[in-house]
Amino acid sequence: MRVAIVTESFLPNLNGVTTSVCRVAECLRAKGHEAVILAPRPAPASYAGYAVHGLASVPVRQFPVGLPSGEVESVLAAFGPDVVHVASPFVLGAGALSAAGRLGLPSVAIYQTDMPSYLRQHGRGAVGRGASRAAWRWVRRIHAMADRTLAPSSAALAELAAHGIPRTALWARGVDATLFNPGWRADAGTRALRRSLAPNGEVLVGYVGRLAPEKELHRLASLAGLRGIRVVVVGEGPSRADDAATLAGAGVDAVFLGRREGDDLARAYAAFDLFAHTGTRETFGQTLQEAAATGLPVVAPARGGPLDLVDHSRTGLLFDPDDPEALREAVAHLAGDRTKREAMGAVARVRVAPRSWSGLTDELLGHYGAVLGARALVA
């Protein structure tokens, strides 16, 4: 099969959209399919043996936003894909879906970023509500152009249905359970990292992700005063300085490790004792899966993507994000019970290990085949 992947985000920027596109590209290559990737500049010239076409972009909050142009349609026409895969469409992706329609190409849109909620969060009062409503109108318009929209969680599917998005289906995300695994705890580098972070045997409460307002790291301020814990934050983003100031001002013992990738990221997870997720607007939550694959119990809001990923009291704890004390209570409960942490982490590892990217890519190929079949019936 020939697949054109158009993505709103790609390397060198690291986030959930980039990770998903990279893993899908790698698996398509391993399965013998042909592909091309279209992404905002700056971008590498190739990835996984596939050509990458860097497209014009403008920076928005340190993030390159691709601009729709005639170049997208030209690349699609020249490549002649069987299907156009559009990752998290909003600006560049909207242009790609429009171009696919003009060229008569089947398309699959991947819903991954809850932009309407982000806009509502950043706006105040009526302005935020109005921006959110306008964003949902735009999202409906975009996804109406796709033959199928794939959502990563049951919560995201319900949200799309509530806002009238047609032709939806569930497609979750895979995890590299080989890279992220409990065996890293025996690694010399992991042990050295842990000694530096927990010199007095502190319980390490880890967070991994982009540092931006929508990630709601301010919730970690509720951990102030919990004895014997240290918060460890892995990631970069426009909110790093604000997040560090907020936690320091609240008296939280926190360390910011910056961006980590590959083995260094796996070591960071393995150094943690438990994983705390703070965002309430996640359509999925890839880092929750990576933490679970490493054998960590996960504490996360009982809202959005985490509802599918955390089995409350078995693989971690879900807390009420409307209760200002709930995150603190959940972390305190696990921090004080090593036996429970290890038992939950072991179950989490067993549950998540089978969710390979190879298997998820097979599911994705099934969705590609379905839209191709539907087009053939209409023709």
pLDDT score for 60: 82
State residue 379's pLDDT score.
Answer: 59
What pLDDT sits at residue 123? 61
Other C-beta atoms lying within 10 Å of the C-beta of residue 266? 24
Read off the pLDDT of residues 243-300 as tens digits, 9 standing for 90 and up.
999 999 999 999 999 999 999 999 999 999 999 999 999 999 999 999 999 999 999 9
The residue among 186, 189, 111, 126 whose CA lies nearest residue 156 is 111
Predicted pLDDT of residue 359: 96
Structure tokens at 225: 């005063």
What are the per-10-residue average pLDDT scores of the chain (379 residues)?
97 92 98 98 97 93 85 97 97 97 97 79 71 89 97 96 96 96 98 98 97 95 97 96 98 97 97 97 95 98 97 98 97 98 98 96 98 80
Q: Tell me the C-alpha distance between 139 and 345, whole Å.
A: 37
In the numeric block, the tokens 């429970």 are attached to: 340
Beta bridge partners of 11: none
Query: Residue 37: CB partners within 8 Å, gap ≥ 6?
Result: 5, 6, 7, 10, 21, 25, 43, 47, 50, 51, 52, 53
What the block records as the tokens of 114 is 């809850």
CB atoms within 10 A of CB 241: 10
Using CA atoms, how far residue 189 sits from 21, 119, 265, in Å, is 29, 40, 11
Which pTM was predicted?
0.91
Predicted local confidence at residue 116, as pLDDT: 77
Cα separation of 263 and 267, whole Å? 6
pLDDT at 63: 79
Instruction: Report pLDDT for 120.
Output: 67
DSSP collapsed to 3 states, the chain = CEEEEEECCCCCCCCHHHHHHHHHHHHHHHCCCEEEEEEECCCCCEECCEEEEEECEEEECCEEEECCCHHHHHHHHHHCCCEEEEECCCCHHHHHHHHHHHHCCCEEEECCCCHHHHHHHHCCHHHHHHHHHHHHHHHHHHHHCCCEEEECCHHHHHHHHHCCCCCEEECCCCCCCCCCCHHHHHCHHHHHHHHHHCCCCCEEEEEECCCCHHHCHHHHHHHCCCCCEEEEEECCCCCHHHHHHHHHHHCCCEEEEECCCHHHHHHHHHHCCEEECCCCCCCCCHHHHHHHHCCCCEEEECCCCHHHHCCECCCEEEECCCCCCHHHHHHHHHHCCHHHHHHHHHHHHHHHCCCCHHHHHHHHHHHHHHHHHHHHHHC
Q: Which residues contact 234 (CB under 8 A, 6 or more apart)?
A: 206, 207, 208, 209, 257, 258, 259, 260, 265, 268
Q: Which domains does the chain have, with CATH numbers?
A: 2-174+356-373 (3.40.50.2000), 182-352 (3.40.50.2000)
State residue 128's pLDDT score. 75
Beta pairing partners, 331: none
